[in-house]
Amino acid sequence: MKKICVIGSLNMDLVVNVDEMPKKGQTLIGSKFREIPGGKGGNQAVAASRLGGDVCMIGKVGNDGFGESLLKQLKADKINTDYVQVEEGPSGVALITVDQNAENSIVVSPGANFKLTKDDIDKCIDGIKESNTVVIQLETPIDTIKYALEKSKELGKFTILNPAPAVMLSDDIIKNVDLLTPNETELEILSGVSIKDEDDIKKAANIMMEKGVKQLIVTLGSKGSLYLDKDNMKFIKSYKVEAIDTTAAGDTYTGALSVAFSQNKSVEETMDFASKAGALSVTKVGAQTSIPNLYDIDNYKF
């Protein structure tokens, strides 16, 4: 099986439920509280591993209890953690408040994630060398992301960039991306095209391909997803489920894509598999607690 290297963030999500969001200066009594492993990098690595991938992770945690828990979860999911470094100081955390309408408010403190440097990529280069596919997001320093993509392409790897959280990216980053996986909002920000319909998506995708991206898979929420390259366009519908919490749905989708592509599945098979995985993730609460495995997908009645 081809190997997958995920480079990215590891956070502990601290989640509290409230009846309604607090107003400025207001103190509320919440109800349920949970500590849930998260971070876009960690989520995508866990998704890829649970869905059949052979995965290693490059990232950083702090030398605190959260760091220990994050590493423990990765190991429990059979992810190679040889390239996850422990940094002096706090791990990344996300403070999440969720109201009774499932609306949330999130504050992220990056902690050790923002201490991932170019030198760290060099120290962990064997993780990239040993892999066929490299998956990256945008919750670590941009200079490190740029360097990791450059090194991955120098080594002939297939690169997947999930451009979230959405920021403008330089052409020097974009040109080293084989597969870009934005949602509509992220594609708008990257391309500068206001997206209202499919023609706008095509226009935006063409701009990204002119900058060097080989393929795009644009996620359209409950509508489905759209694949584009210079010659083809394919639409795959979403699966209808009862949504409880959309946390990590996009990460699950991206992790599933990396696995299916590593198994040489067709574009249609890959997107259908990822759609099933993403749909199942919204039927449970939390980040990594919601990510399905192969058994879940095989036995769910879609």
- Does the annotation list 40 as a binding residue? yes
- Looking at every residue in the chain, the average pLDDT score rounds to 94
Residues 172-223 have pLDDT tens digits of 999 999 999 999 999 999 999 999 999 999 999 999 999 999 999 999 988 8
Mind spelling out the 3-state secondary structure of the chain? CCEEEEECCCEEEEEEECCCCCCCCCCCCCCCEEEEEECHHHHHHHHHHHCCCEEEEEEEEECCHHHHHHHHHHHHCCCECCCEEEECCCCEEEEEEECCCCCEEEEEECHHHHHCCHHHHHHCHHHHHCCCEEEECCCCCHHHHHHHHHHHHHCCCEEEECCCCCCCCCHHHHCCCCEECCEHHHHHHHHCCCCCCHHHHHHHHHHHHHCCCCEEEEECHHHEEEEECCCCEEEEECCCCCCCCCCCHHHHHHHHHHHHHHCCCCHHHHHHHHHHHHHHHCCCCCCHHHCCCHHHHHHCCC
Distance between CA 219 and CA 202 in Å, rounded? 13
Residues 70-127 have pLDDT tens digits of 999 999 999 999 999 999 999 999 998 888 877 778 899 999 999 999 999 999 999 9
Range of lowest pLDDT (9-13, 100-104, 108-112, 288-292): 100-104
Mean pLDDT of 165-171: 92
Range of lowest pLDDT (42-56, 145-159, 240-254): 240-254
| 248 — pLDDT class (breaks 50, 70, 90) | confident
- Does the annotation list 284 as a binding residue? yes
Residues 237-247 have pLDDT tens digits of 989 888 887 77
| 168 — pLDDT class (breaks 50, 70, 90) | very high
Q: What is the pLDDT of residue 105?
A: 84
Q: Please give the share of the chain, as a percent, with pLDDT higher than 90.
A: 85
- Does the annotation list 11 as a binding residue? yes
Distance between CA 41 and CA 94 in Å, rounded? 14
Cβ contact 93:111 at 8 Å: yes
Q: What is the pLDDT of residue 243?
A: 80
Residues 30-50 have pLDDT tens digits of 998 999 999 999 999 999 999
Just list the catalytic residues: 251
- Does the annotation list 8 as a binding residue? no
- Does the annotation list 117 as a binding residue? no
Q: What is the pLDDT of residue 71?
A: 97
Sign of the Cα torsion 271, 163, 49, 54 reads positive
Distance between CA 191 and CA 186 in Å, rounded? 9
